[in-house]
Amino acid sequence: MKVDSYLSSNTGDIKQLFTSVFTDSEGTSEGVLIGQLVHDIVTLTHKEDLHGYVAIDNDKIIGCLFFTRLSFQQGLSAFLLSPMAIQTSYQGKGFGQQLINTALEELKKQGVHLVFTYGDPAFYSKVGFRQITEKTAKAPFTLSQPEGWLAQSLLGEDIKPLPDQPYCVEAFNKPDLW
Ligand SMILES: CC(C)(COP(=O)(O)OP(=O)(O)OC[C@H]1O[C@@H](n2cnc3c(N)ncnc32)[C@H](O)[C@@H]1OP(=O)(O)O)[C@@H](O)C(=O)NCCC(=O)NCCS
C-alpha cells in the first residue's frame, strides 16, 4: 500500500468510498450523511485548511482520511482528523493505522502542532491519540459522546490546556455532527 495526497480529481471515487464504507458499517442513512460531509469538506474548505490523504493498493484507492483546521485563539496549528474510511474488504489488515501514521508524519513536517479526532478510542489509541476532556480543549460544539474526544501533540509534548472554544471549517459547522 502507498499513501498519496488527495487530489480534487479523486473526488468522485472518494465520495463513493465513504458512502459505501459507512453504509456497510452503519447503514444507508449514515452512508449518505458521510458522503455528503465529504462532498462539503472538499468543495467548501479553503486549501490551507485542508489536508487529505488516500491509501492506494494496485492503483486503486482503498482508503482515505481528511484533516480540517480547528482554529484556536492561541494561534497554534491544529487540525481535526475526520472522517476516515478503509474499504470494507480491506479492513482489519493494518491499512488504517498505516494511513494515519503516514499522514501524521506529513502533517508534522508541515508544522502542525496538535491533531484532534472524535471517534472510537479503541482504534485511535493505536495511533497515538489519547482521550481528553474539555478542560484540556473544548470542541467547537457540544459533544454527544465526550468519551470520543481525542487528541495528540505532534511535538511529543503534553497538551497544555486551551481555554477558548475553537471554531471548525464550514463543513463541520453543524451541531448534529458532534
Ligand atoms: C475504523 C477503520 C478506519 C480502521 O481501519 P482498519 O484498516 O480496519 O484498521 P487496522 O487494521 O489498521 O487496525 C485494526 C485494529 O483496530 C481495531 N478497529 C478496527 N476498526 C475499529 C472500529 N471501527 N472500532 C474500534 N476498533 C477498531 C481492531 O480491533 C484492530 O485491533 P487489533 O489489531 O488489536 O485487533 C476502518 O475499519 C473503517 O473504515 N471502518 C468503517 C468506518 C469507520 O468507522 N471510520 C472511522 C470513523 S470516522
* CATH code of the domain in which 114 resides: 3.40.630.30
**Ligand 1: residue whose CA is nearest its atom 32:** 92
Number of structural domains (the chain) is: 1
136 burial type by CB count under 10 A (0-12 exposed, 13-18 middle, 19+ buried): middle
Q: Ligand 1 atom closest to Cα of 84? A: 48
Q: Which grid cell sits at 45?
A: 474548505
Domain extent at residue 29: 2-177
The CB density around residue 1, as the number of other CB atoms within 10 Å, is: 15
Q: Encode the chain (178 residues) as per-residue pLDDT tens digits.
A: 999 999 999 899 999 999 999 999 999 999 999 999 999 999 999 999 999 999 999 999 999 999 999 999 888 999 999 999 999 999 999 999 999 999 999 999 999 999 999 999 999 999 999 999 999 999 999 999 999 999 999 998 889 899 899 999 999 999 999 9
Q: Which grid cell sits at 36?
A: 455528503
101 Cβ below 6 A of ligand 1: no
| Ligand 1: centre distance to CA 34 (Å) | 17
CA distance 78 to 87: 27
Q: Which CA distances in Å does 174 have to 13, 116, 143?
A: 25, 17, 12
CA distance 53 to 77: 18
- 9, 105, 137, 130 alpha-carbon torsion, rounded to 10°: 110
